Amino acid sequence: MRYFPLFADLTDRSVLVVGGGDVAERKVRLLLTSGARVALVARTLTPWLTAQAADAAGRIVQLAAEYTDAHLAGVVLAIVATDDRELNARVAADARARNLLANVVDDAGLSGFIVPAIVDRSPVVIAVSTGGAAPVLARLVRERLESLIDESFGTLAGLLARWRERIRAALPDLASRRRFYESAIRGRVAARVRAGRAAEAERELESELAAASPRAGSVVLVGAGPGDPGLLTLNALRALQDADVILHDRLVADEVLALARRDATRIAVGKEAGGHSMAQVRIHELMIEQARSGRRVVRLKGGDPFIFGRGGEELEALRAAGIAYEVVPGITAALACASYAGIPLTHREHAQSLRLVTAHCGESVDTLDWQALAQGRQTLAFYMGVGRLATIRDRLIERGRAAATPVAIIENGSRPDQRVTLATLDDLPDLAVRGGIRSPALLIVGEVAALAGEMAWFGAPPRVWTRMRRAA
């Protein structure tokens, strides 16, 4: 993010505008709506600017026809709107020398700040910017927002502002207060505002506040999917926006966490094979402690909470503690990673069934029904099997699965750095030693794995391990 978003209070503060044409006029009109005083430098002015500058009681003063750096004294911002590039560059350099921010219209390279496209529903104001890269796109986004956000948003914001101190006094706890606001914004109060019934909306707000009380906390188990934030469900997004506390796994992508409410507390409780991890019982304790403090807790898990995510254990702990809970499913890694690699997990000609298998440790590997797993015409998706590739090969071949059975290993599935390696079952020990495979990675065994060579569509093309080995 190159530009820091900022809303400035310009009331009775002086802003320099260099230029007097139509573009300058538009900027001046915008400045006046924010209460600024405008110091204008220009050779010629539009009729409207001329009239405003001639008004002794107005908020525009024409300083001079020709710019000098002395005109920057006492101003907090400068806007340059001329077609003289040399002059524009000089004003920008003078402002920078004085540590002042200057905007040169339609020249982001010279500008210290940019003026965004604006949706004004005061006191709700939305600014949209592309950093000067595509102003037309910013205007298109603004137009779409204009159609979605009607004038009632401003009226509702004004109502809540008038009641802010009374709401704070009635609900001193921040979490309870936030829930009350969310209920008002999404419920009957907002509906009456949209219907143009301001007085009824105020009475409804008063009634709901009188009935409000601090609420008990709760926990939502949310599946974050394998990485691509676009795979989150709408319910997952709502939960992240409502959360007071987020307990998240190591494999949850930063881009997913960025979608959560900014002031939510984030606590990493991730597990990593062979590395430091928080004990599962401690995760249970944290969820219960935070919920009993009246907070909305999101337990954010990679993939789906109920597919090798220990979500069942966490619900058992919450139920035993009497904590209210919900579950938001996520797209599990086998589905997402295979799709992003172009691998259909079932296929009429190759596989009529799918097995999801965990190979996290030696104990779990030894308890698997390898005879059933070795049967043909099925797809096997091994979770957490990176450290057991040789063992998986040995067990399957011993039980009759062909050594030439296609396999695919998908690292960082659905993420920008996704890597897909195609090989055969017999190649797995070699891959384990020389392949540089790193978790998170999913192993797919079955004839469908070979289809990635034809149908891959996301990220880098698959590498074919057998060819690489022969070349070596």
Residues recognised as catalytic: 249, 271
* CA distances in angstroms from 357 to 354, 367, 387, 449, listed in the order given: 10, 11, 14, 16
Element (H, E) at 120: strand 117-121
* CA distances in angstroms from 358 to 145, 272, 382, listed in the order given: 45, 15, 5
Give the count of beta carbons closer than 10 Å to the beta carbon of residue 150.
12
Q: Which residue in the block uniquely carries the two structure tokens 């022969």?
A: 470
Considering only the C-alpha atoms of the chain, give the largest distance between any 2 of them, rounded to a whole number of Å: 96
Q: Which of 55, 17, 66, 67 is nearest to 39 (CA)?
A: 17
Question: CA 22, CA 11: separation in Å to the nearest integer?
Answer: 23
Q: Is the dihedral of CA 415, 222, 365, 400 positive or negative?
A: negative
Q: What value, to the nearest 5°, has the Cα angle with vertex 156 and ends 197 and 29?
A: 115
Beta strands in 369-417 (DSSP E): 379-383, 406-411
Which residues 6+ apart lie within 8 Å of 191 measured at CB? none
Query: Do β-strands 419-424 and 406-411 pair in parallel, antiparallel, or remain unpaired?
Result: antiparallel
Which residues 6+ apart lie within 8 Å of 33 measured at CB? none
